[in-house]
Every structure is written in structure tokens, then in C-alpha cells.
Structure 1
Amino acid sequence: MGTNDRRPIAARASGWAAKLSAALAQSSITPNQISVLSIFFAALGAMMLVWSPTVPGLLLCAICVQLRLVCNLLDGMVAMEGGKQTATGALFNEFPDRIADSLLIVGLGYAAFTPWLGWLGALLAALTAYVRIFGGSLGLAQDFRGPMAKQHRMAVLTAACLLAIAERMTLGSDYSLIIGSGVIAAGSLLTCISRTRAIAAQLQAGG
């Protein structure tokens, strides 16, 4: 994967990320293993949403989402900056993301007692990636714009979990979860539209 096809992440410049990725690059751990680990954290978070959407479960889910994102950050840094790129790196860079996204977003729908909304959000989230990669297949730079790119989806999901904890402890209601699920679905649809329009504009302008 070229540098133009990497998602812009500000945390790459942070000291802790550089030190941790350097340590991992010196170990026997591969970038692909880190990518697969992100699925484990996503699955654990999704389990909490589906089977234990209690205050402790929601808190654990929020933590798992952040750990999933840390894996997504470090796999690329270990591969690129750490010099451990592999022939299958591009495959592992994309597929675990789609699985992790789907697990968490579907899980959020079930926690909000609206499974259909979770499945719709997961479908639209996968479609945002499809549009991005399709643009790349046409020779254009991959477009990571929002309003609901991966980091935005995970930020909304984390906020929904934390707000649901506060909401349950104060009001005893669960509106935060269904609102979060709806925001992810609607935002992902808008992201598909914005990325598609950007691709069309570049093609009309000759790339």
C-alpha cells in the first residue's frame, strides 16, 4: 500500500505510538497479526453490546473500540515505518477493518433494540470503504473523507456507550444507543455520497 493510500491519522506523530510501533517492529509480531488482533477486540466489544449491554459491559465495549483503533494505527506503522511490509499487507489492512466495523455496528443495533438499524449501518459502513477503494482502482488517490469515516464511526460508537452509561445512571433510559446507531447509518450514507461525488468530479476533470 502506497503512502497516498494511507488513512491520515494524527496519532502517528505521537510519541507513545512511535515508541510502541518501534518496539513491535523489533519483535517477532507481524503487522498482519496486529490487524487480526483488532478483530478480537471488536468481537469482544460486540459481545458486550449484544449479551451484556450493562454499565460494565458498555464501558468494556468503549475500551475495546479504542484498543481496536490502536491496532489499526500500529499495524500500518509497524509495516511502513518499521519496515515489515508483507505481500499480503494490503489484504490484511482492509479485511479485518470490515469485519471489526460490522461486528461493532451490528452489536450497537442490537444493544439499542433496533437490529435492523445496526445491520443497515454495517452495510453502509462497508459501502464507504467500497467507494473509497473503487476510486483507487480508477487510479485516483483513495478518499478518506467523512462525515462518517472509520474513526468518526468509532468515535460515535464510543460516545454512545459512554453517554448510555450516564443516561442509565441518571435517567434510566437508553436513547443514546439508538441515536448513536442512527447517526452512524445516516453519516455513512452521506459519506458514500460525498466520496462518490468527489470521484465523479475528479473523473470529469480528467483525474
Structure 2
Amino acid sequence: MDPDPTAPKPGNRRPIAARSNSLVQRFSAWLARTGVSPNGISLASIVFAALGAAALLEIDAPWGAWLCALAIVLRLLCNLFDGLVAVEHGRKTPTGVLYNEVPDRIADSLFLVALGYAAGLPWCGWLAALLAALTAYIRTLGGTVLGSQDFRGPMAKPHRMWLMVAACVLAPLETRFAGTGYTLRVAVVVIAAGSALTCWTRLRVIAQRLQEAA
């Protein structure tokens, strides 16, 4: 029995409600008609991550954090549309699985390490990046030994990124109106701690299902 009945059921594709949105479907169809490669869309996510990380670290004005938040959203859109173009529009490639995973790990690290430095907690940013990569490793390990991947949180990739978006939007407002700088620090600590918890929850479920199968 699944120890958390409210958690998303495992599968080989991350459940994203936006895939069924008519506007998203139309835009993905347009992308497919242009001939753009889903692997190219995946690589674009690294570009957005690099630009967002640079904006967060190099632009002192509020615009730096807000540009980083925008870059995170664009990265997540890349993650959405590469799969739609590849699967729904028949543009899969033999190396698609590599492009689906490796750019994600690079983009995660760029954003989270930058968050740590911007928060004044560089060690925590590196820890968050390491744990984020570990959550993905455990997910794919589960897919290897069980035949399906488990995308549960509490700090899966979308949770990490949307929390960072919120922190980047709110941090300049906190500095402007309260004169304090806790938002980014809280965000990077919560992401690191939540990612560690996610590693444990995923490992626990994998172990339980292996025992049940035996």
C-alpha cells in the first residue's frame, strides 16, 4: 500500500496539469510546425538558467531578482514544451532521454547555487543543488528497479522552482519596505531541507515496493 495516498502516483512522465490547457496545446503545435527540436528546447532551459542566475547575482537593483524569477518561469516552460513537442507531436529522438534529464540538473544547480550566494549562504546553495540532483537520481533509480518513476515531493523540481520564484519576487519588496533580507535565506534553507526530505520519502517508497514485490 502507498504510505501517502495523497501523493501523485508513479509513472514515467511528470504529471503536469498545464499540458491539457488549450493555449499550451496550440503553442506546442506551433512549435512543432516550426521544426524546432525538443532537444533544442531542453538546451534553452540552461540558457535561461544561466541568465537568471547571473541576474540574481550581478544586478543589485530589484530587477535582478525579478529577472531571475522570469528566467525560472521560462525554464519551466522549456521543461513543459520539450516534452509536448517530443511526445504529443512525434518528435522524439534516440537521445531525447538524455536531453530531458541532463539540462534539468544543470539548470537546477545554476539557480540554486546562485540563490545560496544571493542569500549569503553559499554552502546552503551548494547543498540544495546537490540534494536536488539526488532527488532526480533516486527518481530515475526507482524507474530502473520498479519500471516507473515516482515524482512525489515535498520538494520536487516544480516545488523548488516555484518557491524560488516567490522568493525572488518578494525579496526586493522585503528589502524596500522592511529593510530586512530573510526571504532568500529562508527559501534556500527550505529548499535544501525539503529536498533532503524528498530523497527520504522516495527511497522509503522504493524500498517498500521492492519488499512487496519480493
| TM-score category of the 2 structures, normalised to the smaller one | over 0.9
Specify which of 11, 14, 25 is matched with residue 7 of structure 1.
14
CA distance in 2, matches of 1:46, 1:171: 25
Contact kept, 8 Å, 2:142 with 2:150, in 1: the verdict is: yes
Q: Which residue of 1 aligns with 2:93?
A: 86
TM-score normalised according to structure 1 size: 0.96
Residue of structure 1 in register with 2:41 after alignment: 34
State the alpha-carbon separation in 2 of the partners of residues 146 and 140 from structure 1: 19
CA distance in 1, matches of 2:149, 2:168: 30
Change (3 A) 1:118 1:27: same
The equivalent of 1:142 in structure 2 is 149
Structure 2 CA distance for aligned equivalents of residues 121 and 49 of structure 1: 17
1:159-170 map, 5 Å: 159-170=166-177
Conserved? CA contact 2:57–2:64, under 8 Å: no
User: 2:186 is matched with which residue?
Assistant: 179
| Distance (Å, rounded) in 2 between the aligned partners of 1:98 and 1:50 | 20
Tell me how far 1:139 sits from its aligned partner: 3.0
Letter in 1 for 2:78: C
Q: Which residue of 1 aligns with 2:81?
A: 74
Does 2:20 align with 1:52?
no
Instruction: Specify the SS of the correspondent of 1:4.
Output: coil
**Aligned partners of 2:60 and 2:43: how far apart in 1?**
24
In structure 1, list runs of 5 or more residues that go unmatched. Answer: none
> Deviation above 4 Å: which 4+ runs of structure 1?
none
* Greater alpha carbon shift after TM alignment, 104-113 vs 160-169: 160-169
Q: 2:162 aligns with which of 147, 155, 162?
A: 155
How far did 1:172 drift?
1.8
**Number of residues of Structure 1 aligned to a counterpart in Structure 2:** 205
For structure 2, the residue ranges without an aligned partner over 5 or more in a row are: 1-9
Structure 1 vs Structure 2 CA RMSD:
1.2
Shift of 1:53: 4.5
**Equivalent residue number for residue 121 of structure 1:** 128
Q: Which AA in structure 2 matches 1:11?
A: A
* Identical-pair percentage: 55
C-alpha contact 1:49 1:110 (8 A) present in aligned 2: no
Q: Kindly indicate whether the alpha-carbon contact (under 8 Å) linking 1:38 and 1:96 is maintained by their aligned counterparts in 2.
A: yes
Answer with 14-23 or 92-101: which moved more. Answer: 14-23
State whether structure 2 residue 186 is matched by structure 1 residue 201: no
TM-score for both structures, normalised by structure 2: 0.93
Q: Which residue matches 2:104?
A: 97
What's the offset of the Cα at 1:147? Answer: 0.1
